[in-house]
Amino acid sequence: MRFLCVNCGYIYDEALWDELDGIEPGTNIDTLINEDIPCPMCGGSFDDFSPIEDEILYAENPHKLNHLELEHIPHVVYQDAERIEVSIGKELHPVSDDHRITAMYLIDDEGHIVEEIFIMPDEEPVCEFDVSGLDIFELRASCSKHWLWSSGLIEAV
């Protein structure tokens, strides 16, 4: 998730390594509030940050992906009843400092996050999820430049 500092406009992305304040990627905003870590830009409290709801993008035509969709829609490489291997996307998304996939999510059929995996800088956007117990699920990927992308609903095998 991303959060906006309402005092100064600084955006905190839980998936990103923020060198400014030395925060580990994957640090939940509640941890920053509890530890009284100040906003790195204005010194305000993380209590004053508000969540940013990213628009979720789907393939307009799943059978004919455009260039952006080919690089961003989560792509199933392997699937069985227990696990799924995923790449972002069908043509692997580029990896550079200012443009990369920062996180991948397994979502249940009610839209809740079952598991989130943060992708470190220089890491390729491929991962595995445990899907045992899920009949239907969805995969999402967050790009540092191009928003949040969804596979649409996928049936378990």
Query: Near Fe ion by CB under 5 A, which window of 49-57, 78-86, 120-128, 138-146?
Result: 138-146
CB of 65 to Fe ion, least distance (A): 14
Cα–Cα nearest to 39, from 11, 81, 69, 76 = 11
Q: Which residues pair with 117 in a beta bridge?
A: 104
Of 54 and 109, which has the nearer Cβ to Fe ion?
54
Of 48 and 116, which has the nearer Cβ to Fe ion?
116
CA 68 to CA 28: how far, in whole Å? 29
Residues in the interface with Fe ion (CB under 5 A) total 3
Interacting residue with Fe ion among 33, 146, 148, 156 (CB under 5 A): 146
| 90 near Fe ion, judged by CB under 5 A | no
Q: Which residues pair with 155 in a beta bridge?
A: 136
Q: Is 123 left (phi over 0), alpha (psi -120 to 50) or beta?
A: beta
Q: Which residues pair with 23 in a beta bridge?
A: 18
| 143 near Fe ion, judged by CB under 5 A | yes
Of 2 and 49, which has the nearer Cβ to Fe ion?
2
φ, ψ for residue 71 (rounded to 5)? -95, -10
Residues that bind Fe ion (CB under 5 A): 143, 145-146
